[in-house]
Chains A and B, each alone.
Chain A
Amino acid sequence: MKRKNISILLLFLLGFSNFFEGCKSSDVDATSSTSTSTGTSTGTTTGSTTSNSSSITTALSATATTTTCNSTGVAQIVCLAEAFKATLSSTQLAATQLTYSKTNAQKWSNLPAGMSARIGINLGSLSDTQLAAFRNLMVAVLALGTTDEGYDEMIGNLVADDYLNSIGGGSTYGAGNYYISFLGTPSTSSLWAILFTGHHYTQPITFNAGAVTGLTPAFRGTEPQAAVTAASRTYQAFEQERVAFAAMLTGLSTTEQTTAKLSGSYNDLVLGPGQDGKFPATKSGLQVGTLSSDKQALVLKAIKLYVNDLDATTSAAVLTKYTSELANTYISYSGTTAMSSQGDYVRIDGPSVWIEFSYQGGVIIKNTPHSHSVWRDHSGDYGGN
């Protein structure tokens, strides 16, 4: 009888364990989204994908106003950078205005910022006024007016990442997780850089003594590769590049393709983030100088889709250089020439230019390839610093 009482007491005590709720490990809801993406994705039958735009991409899509900065060239960019800085609070400014160092300049990746931390301030923390000032600056450094190229390509890239956020990628993805910083104080006399970097988009612009000294390493890519619609616009930020490479390779003769084909397989970029300055000592593949002029033009067309993302003045000088070096530039590939299957890879390696494009397995959208690409310059990465 007494022994029974003890068992009852213990059972009673066990019941009290419910009062220990406060001790429970609190699971942080990792999927709670801070992004404003509404993400009402509608299924598609046409192969293109659809998503609503976030307030960020809407703000960035509005027409830019540069009237406050009447100057031209670097002086205007400095003026617009200062105008953007003027909209920031002191804490925001401290995060955005950093010192120039190679270490800071190297803080980019092809992973979302949540998996590989960036420096600077993220678009998600900017007000509409601040976003407008950021837009005015980017519009001045990137090319305007071409669908899916230049500034429009940047918006399309953000729209695609918003889409990944909405279909289950979670808050790690989306336009809010792209970062802008100034490395060194913007000026027309000293060394400084704009670094805009996020998941599938990194664009640095290095300035020194009032001139642009570097536009690389620039990372481009997109998932999904298919079209994404936002605010009644359809973006396919990185499809023209893929199509241009396919045209360049399928345009070659069978013999030329054999020379261009690499023996190894490539499931990602060779000179991606963290692989600075490791250009192969010997160039592989097919020398462009041995090709007919129409085939050479196809190579140049692919290169232009990278260089011409920058504003016309800046890109013209770079393009002149790459064109003059075209004959000594090599192209190579792995996989198929159609650049449409997982594992397809292409490279352009010149005396100065280095472009790689890798069509690789999907991460958020499984079993569907997506693109990674990097544009580097043998001597001009980080403005030669």
Chain B
Amino acid sequence: MPNSVVLLNVHANRIDAELQIPLVELQSAWGHAVNDSSAGLVERLGPQLRAYLKTHIRPQSPDGQFWTVAVGALTTHESQNPIQGVYRELTAQVQMIPPAGNDVRRFMFHYDVVLHQVMTHKILVSVRQDWERGQLAESEPVQVGEISLDIVNNRILPLPINRASGSAWTGFMAMTQLGMQHIAEGTDHLLFLLVLLLPAPLLTTGQRWGRFGGVRYSLKRLLLIVTAFTLGHSITLLLGSIGWVRLPSQPVEILIAVSILASALHAMRPIFPGRETWVAAGFGLVHGLAFAGTLATLQLDAGPMALSILGFNLGIELMQLAVIVAVIPWLMLLSRTPAYTRVRLLGACLAGLAAFAWIAERVYGQSNSLTYCIEVVANYAPYGLLVLALLSVYLTWRAKPLPLA
């Protein structure tokens, strides 16, 4: 029989818990034909269900005081595991608040929903998020125990919860790491920026890209583009994280893919010469919305959220900077050789191809063979960098390079 799952999200002074209760087991314990007729269950029995859950969820502080428990949103849906196949379950959002002055991290978890009646039921308790300990909902929940019948003594014991205390610093560092990881794994964000930088060292002559514009010229344009992109995504990351701007993720993801296509076209032929800064800022706004989605799912309180936005953005910038510092010198070396035209066109074509693949994937909500290839190829990015470095050194040595200034 399927078991229950309790997922804890540990905040500074409360715990948000998500309960997942198989309806077949709930019916054995509570009746009301909750499994036999699960359609409209919440509308039909919402208040009674909340009252039932409240009676059987009783966290208790070491001094004996019980916590305040409030049962929020209830939903029913289908779930699946390899052993039981498909089954229906109830998901309940529960808020648990310790009495004033009591530690949220230490309590006896008296929980016997279903188990008070169904002796063979099992409840797996896990911590899904503990920001102060640097554990984020992004990773797998950490199981802290199982509540089940003590068969020998025929009793149900509460589960002692004793979480080591954390700090705002640990939470901040975890967010910085998450930001770095987000960019390191976010092939689309990096590709947009790199392709935008591809023609940055070049001058424009009429409708075409011209020759290398000099180190000063290149660095100035690089700095402007990167700063504009950073400003753009920082603004929407902030606005999105505090909930002022919320866009559904699908159109945002499609726009990100479109932004890569635009910068790829621009790398072939200057379509917005001199306005790269504005384009970078504009598309930065779009990319920031995607970053904000990650933060919004963490459902943090104001203080930790502010630190998280800061830490997450810092992580993004650090990783972005590292990639730029690693790639740009070679691009600038290459851009002084005649072969750069071919390198630039090849890069732009591949990026354009990837953009098309991503657009298709995000419009139809289904990955295709090309996006799968991109994932595989992206793993070899460090070797790509090595090849780029060797190639640029070799071509510089072979060709009579143009003067640096």
Interfacial chain A residues near B121, Cβ < 8 Å: 267
Bound form: Cα–Cα A20–B367 in Å: 13
Q: Which chain A residue shows the least CB distance to B349?
A: A13
Interfacial chain B residues near A83, Cβ < 8 Å: none
Q: Which chain B residue shows the least CB distance to A14?
A: B356
| B1 close to A264 (CB less than 8 A) | no
Bound form: Cα–Cα A32–B24 in Å: 31
- How far is the CB of A268 from the nearest CB of chain B, in Å? 4
Q: Which of A20, A266, A280 contacts B369 (CB 8 A)?
A: A20
| A17 close to B151 (CB less than 8 A) | no
| A264 close to B353 (CB less than 8 A) | no
| A10 close to B118 (CB less than 8 A) | no
Say yes or no: is A3 at the interface (Cβ < 8 Å to chain B).
Answer: yes
Interfacial chain A residues near B151, Cβ < 8 Å: 270-271, 275, 278-280
Interfacial chain A residues near B349, Cβ < 8 Å: 9-10, 13
Residue interface bits A1-37, CB-to-B below 8 A is 1, else 0:
0110010011001101110110111000000000000
Say yes or no: is A273 at the interface (Cβ < 8 Å to chain B).
Answer: no
Say yes or no: is B352 at the interface (Cβ < 8 Å to chain A).
Answer: yes
Bound form: Cα–Cα A14–B352 in Å: 9
Bound form: Cα–Cα A264–B29 in Å: 9
| B153 close to A21 (CB less than 8 A) | no
Bound form: Cα–Cα A358–B118 in Å: 13
| A264 close to B372 (CB less than 8 A) | no
Q: Which chain A residue shows the least CB distance to B149?
A: A270
| A2 close to B370 (CB less than 8 A) | no
| B373 close to A20 (CB less than 8 A) | yes
Given A278-B152, A281-B152, do A24 and B369 touch, yes or no (CB 8 Å)? yes
Say yes or no: is B299 at the interface (Cβ < 8 Å to chain A).
Answer: no
Interfacial chain A residues near B373, Cβ < 8 Å: 20, 23
Say yes or no: is B395 at the interface (Cβ < 8 Å to chain A).
Answer: no
Q: Which chain A residue shows the least CB distance to B376?
A: A23
In A106-141, which residues have CB < 8 Å from any B CB? 111, 115
Say yes or no: is A363 at the interface (Cβ < 8 Å to chain B).
Answer: yes
Given A280-B151, A280-B152, do A265 and B117 touch, yes or no (CB 8 Å)? yes
In B71-104, which residues have CB < 8 Å from any A CB? 82-85
Say yes or no: is B357 at the interface (Cβ < 8 Å to chain A).
Answer: yes
| A280 close to B1 (CB less than 8 A) | no
Bound form: Cα–Cα A15–B88 in Å: 43
Q: Which chain B residue shows the least CB distance to A21?
A: B369
In B358-375, which residues have CB < 8 Å from any A CB? 368-370, 372-373
Q: Which chain A residue shows the least CB distance to B122?
A: A268
Bound form: Cα–Cα A284–B152 in Å: 12
Question: Chain B contact residues: over half helix, strand or loop, or mixed?
Answer: mixed
Say yes or no: is B324 at the interface (Cβ < 8 Å to chain A).
Answer: no
Residue interface bits B105-136, CB-to-A below 8 A is 1, else 0:
00000000000011111000000000000000
Say yes or no: is B38 at the interface (Cβ < 8 Å to chain A).
Answer: no
Bound form: Cα–Cα A10–B370 in Å: 14
Q: Which of B24, B118, B149, B376 contacts A361 (CB 8 A)?
A: B24
Say yes or no: is B25 at the interface (Cβ < 8 Å to chain A).
Answer: yes
Interfacial chain B residues near A284, Cβ < 8 Å: 154
| A115 close to B269 (CB less than 8 A) | no
Bound form: Cα–Cα A33–B84 in Å: 20
| B120 close to A270 (CB less than 8 A) | yes
Say yes or no: is B53 at the interface (Cβ < 8 Å to chain A).
Answer: no
Interfacial chain A residues near B352, Cβ < 8 Å: 10, 13
| B119 close to A266 (CB less than 8 A) | yes
| B119 close to A270 (CB less than 8 A) | yes
- How far is the CB of A11 from the nearest CB of chain B, in Å? 8
Say yes or no: is A194 at the interface (Cβ < 8 Å to chain B).
Answer: no
Bound form: Cα–Cα A361–B152 in Å: 26
Bound form: Cα–Cα A262–B1 in Å: 20
Bound form: Cα–Cα A9–B357 in Å: 15
Say yes or no: is B237 at the interface (Cβ < 8 Å to chain A).
Answer: no
Q: Which of B1, B25, B118, B269 contacts A3 (CB 8 A)?
A: B269
Interfacial chain A residues near B119, Cβ < 8 Å: 262, 264-266, 270
| B370 close to A17 (CB less than 8 A) | yes
Say yes or no: is A269 at the interface (Cβ < 8 Å to chain B).
Answer: yes
- How far is the CB of A356 from the nearest CB of chain B, in Å? 10
| B269 close to A13 (CB less than 8 A) | no
Q: Which chain B residue shows the least CB distance to A23?
A: B373
Bound form: Cα–Cα A111–B85 in Å: 13
Say yes or no: is A184 at the interface (Cβ < 8 Å to chain B).
Answer: no
| A115 close to B1 (CB less than 8 A) | no
Interfacial chain A residues near B152, Cβ < 8 Å: 278-281
Interfacial chain A residues near B149, Cβ < 8 Å: 270
Say yes or no: is B290 at the interface (Cβ < 8 Å to chain A).
Answer: no
Q: Which chain A residue shows the least CB distance to B25?
A: A267
| B153 close to A281 (CB less than 8 A) | yes
Interfacial chain B residues near A278, Cβ < 8 Å: 151-152
Residue interface bits A350-385, CB-to-B below 8 A is 1, else 0:
000000001011011010000000000000000000
Most buried by A among B149, B269, B353: B353
Residue interface bits A53-95, CB-to-B below 8 A is 1, else 0:
0000000000000000000000000000000000000000000
| B29 close to A360 (CB less than 8 A) | no
- How far is the CB of A279 from the nearest CB of chain B, in Å? 7
| B353 close to A10 (CB less than 8 A) | yes
Say yes or no: is B19 at the interface (Cβ < 8 Å to chain A).
Answer: no
Given A3-B269, A280-B151, A280-B154, do A343 and B372 touch, yes or no (CB 8 Å)? no
| B25 close to A6 (CB less than 8 A) | no
Q: Which of B84, B269, B353, B356 contacts A363 (CB 8 A)?
A: B84
Bound form: Cα–Cα A24–B370 in Å: 8
Q: Which of A6, A23, A275 contacts B268 (CB 8 A)?
A: A6
Interfacial chain A residues near B13, Cβ < 8 Å: none
Q: Which chain A residue shows the least CB distance to B368?
A: A17
Q: Which of A13, A25, A268, A282 contacts B154 (CB 8 A)?
A: A282
List 6 extra interface pairs beyond A2-B207, A23-B376, A265-B120, CB under 8 A: A6-B268, A10-B356, A21-B369, A23-B373, A281-B152, A361-B24
CB pairs A–B below 8 angstroms (21 shown): A2-B207, A2-B269, A6-B268, A14-B353, A14-B357, A17-B357, A20-B370, A25-B372, A115-B82, A115-B83, A264-B118, A265-B28, A265-B119, A267-B25, A267-B28, A268-B1, A268-B120, A271-B151, A280-B153, A280-B154, A360-B1
